[in-house]
Amino acid sequence: MSKHLKRLGYDWAGEKFIRNLYKELGIKGQKPVFKTTRSGKAPYGKFPYLLRNKFIAFPNQVMATDITYIKTPWGMMYFTAVIDLYSRKILSWRLSDSMKTDFCLECVREAFEKYGVPAIFNTDCGSQYTSGEFIELLKSYNVEISMDGIGRCKDNIFVERTWRTLKYEWIFLRDYRSEEELRKLLGDFVKFFNKERIHQGLDYKTPDEVYREGSFPSAIIKKMAA
């Protein structure tokens, strides 16, 4: 928040001042945890995890996806997105009232059509991603398939952190009374996340800025090479 406010011209917003302000106002994060991943029969079996100790050097090298729940007054909704792991940019997204595979396939197709085909595509082991339809789609693009280890949420940590931002900084702070309003809310979030929200892990730049630049800031390269 300190870095964000300074980018907007508020030079007084030092990190210590913001921390003290949060403490005075009693602002702190909440951590509700729900499990939505359900393993399928996996006709192709589980694919290996390919990202361990891998240096991601450019946009579209690795894309990843996942599904997160959104609890609404009319029932549970499910949000999926394809994210470029180099820049954290959200490339495409879909909202569904069921956990069927169709909306995941549409999301991946849109990302590939708009931004190109990655070298590696990473998912968890949910039934949507181990289904024959999903695996055949990725194989048709000659993409290397990577899957998180069982019970290892940190294997897809950038996507999980995106869900955290979506919930704590957007969904929980806003009201929506219909699916139409929720879709607009999500569209606004994607624009905000890509174009305005700075990330400490991106040297306080936005995903769009890093995606356009096509190279990590030097500080990040040094950190990853250490």
pLDDT, tens only, 36-59: 444 445 556 679 999 988 899 999
Contact 162, 81 (CB under 8 A): yes
Which structure tokens are listed for 211? Answer: 């995606």
Give the HSE-up count for residue 26: Cα atoms under 13 Å, Cβ half-sphere.
Answer: 0
End-to-end CA distance of the chain: 27
pTM for this predicted structure: 0.77
Task: Supply the DSSP string of 58-118, one letter for each residue.
Answer: STTSEEEEEEEEEEETTEEEEEEEEEETTT--EEEEEEESS--SHHHHHHHHHHHHHH---
**Tell me, what amino acid is at 198?**
I
pLDDT, tens only, 77-128: 999 999 999 999 999 999 999 999 999 999 999 999 999 999 999 999 899 9
If DSSP codes are grouped into helix, strand and coil, which group holds residue 145? strand
